[in-house]
Structure 1
């Protein structure tokens, strides 16, 4: 068979070097990352619940680990991931109703989701430290 020039005329599939990062794309990627991070954070919650049901020594160990500066940083990240993922889910629920699908609206919702998630995370932690 003779070689045809079909291969040379076919367009290349787009990739990240061609796409311009836009807020909705970034929020989609972050939504997926936070979803994955929630699996690991939920293991920490399960560890805490199991330690609570097991013994005082186990509970004290978990409290010490999660109460350290690195534990608090992990819990802060878990809180933000949980809030951000929830807000992204609400955004998708709004889109599922057929509302907010205009380009400028989706961009505003994407930018707002990052600010709202950070603000709610800070508010939750302030309330938590005031109560404790």
Structure 2
């Protein structure tokens, strides 16, 4: 009599010990994380809008919170999150046209989107401070 399928040794599916971690994998994970973090950013934006619709004191308090060093750090992180997620979406749109799907091209696109998200975030903040006259 043969062994039942429940007791027979079954092959394991490939897992992390099989695959080499690539930039495209890292950016895919980061794209999902930044998408979730943007929910937090929308909450902060809603708080700011609600404060603007209420009293002057409430708006000044919320602006003071966002203007503190911790608030600016959070807003800087949210700026990077938004830009990184947007560039990841553009990368996916390019892939939808069946371009850049080879391993080396996907890795290059992932690295470039990571670098571009940092550069664009810094550029947005430098331009923001320049327009505000704080530079």
Whole-angstrom distance in 2 between the partners of 1:7 and 1:127: 65
* 1:11-90 correspondence runs (5 A): 11-90=11-90
Could you tell me which residue of structure 2 aligns to residue 119 of structure 1? Answer: 119
Whole-angstrom distance in 1 between the partners of 2:19 and 2:104: 18
- Pairwise CA distance, 1:25: 0.5
The TM-score, its normalising length taken from structure 2, stands at 0.90
- Pairwise CA distance, 1:6: 6.3
CA offsets 1:54-82 (integer angstroms, 9 cap, x no match): 11111111111111111101000000000
Whole-angstrom distance in 2 between the partners of 1:76 and 1:42: 14
Could you tell me which residue of structure 2 aligns to residue 92 of structure 1? Answer: 92
Aligned length: 132
What are the ranges of 5 or more consecutive residues in structure 2 without an aligned counterpart? none
What are the ranges of 5 or more consecutive residues in structure 1 without an aligned counterpart? none
| C-alpha RMSD of matched pairs (Å) | 1.7
- Pairwise CA distance, 1:5: 6.6
Q: Which SS does the other structure have where 1:60 is aligned?
A: helix
The TM-score, its normalising length taken from structure 1, stands at 0.92
* 1:101-116 correspondence runs (5 A): 101-116=101-116
Whole-angstrom distance in 1 between the partners of 2:70 and 2:8: 54
Whole-angstrom distance in 2 between the partners of 1:110 and 1:19: 17
- Structure number with the higher helix fraction is 1
